[in-house]
Amino acid sequence: MTDSAISRPDAPNILVVDDTPANLELLSGMLKERGYRIRAAVSAEMALQAARNEPPDLMLLDIKMPGMDGYEVCRRLKADEKLKDIPVIFMSSFDEMKDKVEAFKAGGVDYISKPFRLEEVEARVERQLTLKAARE
């Protein structure tokens, strides 16, 4: 897990979860450049532990991972009183309607298809963080 030297201490904390190191590097770099505090996890288990240790303001979550998939990670977050309000944006190469429906049923707030465009990720992240701040 990494923290950005560029971001402010009060910047939103985003947990990026993907078992593909290239995706983690690309997303983390892009979000750090925009001033967010980024932590990365390469597995579902690491993601859940990181969220328990320091609940993020937002999670970008891959669906297809070895072992536990992203749907199950999201269901576990939503079942935990301390973590249930974390917005989860799913990111996946699965692009069928049934996959998107499953993501929303699991508790996701948004869905980005891979290959992703950085501008889209940035816009969706900003939107969800704005909504979260308004709710609080």
pLDDT value of residue 65: 93
Q: Which H or E run contains 109?
A: none
Which of 86-90, 92-96, 97-101, 126-130 is the least confident region? 92-96
Q: Where are the domains of the chain?
A: 13-131
Q: Which two tokens stand for residue 19?
A: 């078992």
The pTM of this model reads 0.91
The answer to whether the Cα torsion of 124, 57, 60, 35 is positive or negative is positive
How many C-beta neighbours within 10 Å does residue 31 have?
24
Average pLDDT, the chain: 92
pLDDT value of residue 95: 78
pLDDT value of residue 4: 38
pLDDT one-digit tens code per residue, 6-51: 556 789 999 999 999 999 999 999 999 999 999 999 999 999 999 9
Would you say residue 3 has pLDDT above 50?
A: no
User: What is 13-131's CATH number?
Assistant: 3.40.50.2300
Would you say residue 87 has pLDDT above 60?
A: yes
pLDDT value of residue 129: 96
